[in-house]
Amino acid sequence: MRRLLHVPIVHGNADMGSALSRVRQAYIDDRGEDAWEASRRAIAEFWQAIEMGMDNLCLDYTTVRLYQDGLPVCGIEQKIVSDLAAQGIANYRILLKLVDRGATLEGTEDPELLRKEYGLIMSALPSAGGKGKAGPPEDARHLELSRLLEERDLFIARRIDATLLDDETGILFLGALHRAVEKLPSTITVMTLPELLQSSGAPGKN
């Protein structure tokens, strides 16, 4: 039996990299400084809860494969995760802890699709001078982002199906807007974190 733990995630401030200052300013302009701070605290608490759940899983990590939203198939997946964990990004710190326990890290996404999406998102953000960057009209941008998300989900589902072996457990950290798990074959049983905690005999730590 193949099973997959699906962990819907939200991206924290540190995930935004060089775009953080522009994202922050756009958010504050729309909702205010207090809303930004409340969002930042809520995201931090969310990741604390996820990390606690992961620490309580009782698994044979030599049979666990890790899949990550935004992690390209590129040959340097381990370096990417290590570098981002060192920057204090909770999602990647958790991944690194699981790798240290014996889990196998898998590149999860098509790098070209990620590049295209990043370009579209950046084109929608105001520049440092407060003016929007040149890019497609808003309606066209939304349509293209939806199309790219669909293509990304198909790639993720196929990647999991191709790499997750019989009697292995996958752990997929994936943004809440994604629908990749709906595209998986019926031979993969999808579980939530509470379900896997219960079936693995938590509390406890491996």
For the chain, 206 residues long, give each residue's pLDDT as a single digit of tens: 999 999 999 876 555 555 555 555 565 666 777 775 777 788 888 999 999 999 999 999 999 999 999 999 999 999 999 999 998 899 999 999 999 999 999 999 999 999 999 888 888 766 655 555 555 677 888 899 999 999 999 999 999 999 999 999 999 999 989 999 999 999 999 999 999 888 766 654 44
Q: According to the model, what pLDDT value does residue 10 have?
A: 85
- What is residue 24's predicted lDDT score, i.e. its pLDDT? 55
Separation CA 73–CA 112 (nearest Å): 10
Structural domain boundaries of the chain? 2-199
Q: Residue 134: exposed, middle, or buried by beta-carbon count in 10 A (0-12, 13-18, 19+)?
A: exposed
Rounded Cα distance, 204 and 120, in Å: 44
pTM value > 0.75: yes
| φ, ψ for residue 149, nearest 5 deg | -65, -40
The predicted structure's pLDDT at residue 117:
92
What is the number of other CB atoms lying within 10 angstroms of the CB of residue 15?
A: 19
Backbone angles phi, psi at 35, to 5 degrees: -65, -35
Which amino acid appears at position 122 of this protein?
A: M
Tokens (6 digits) for 87: 């920057």
Q: Is 83 left (phi over 0), alpha (psi -120 to 50) or beta?
A: alpha
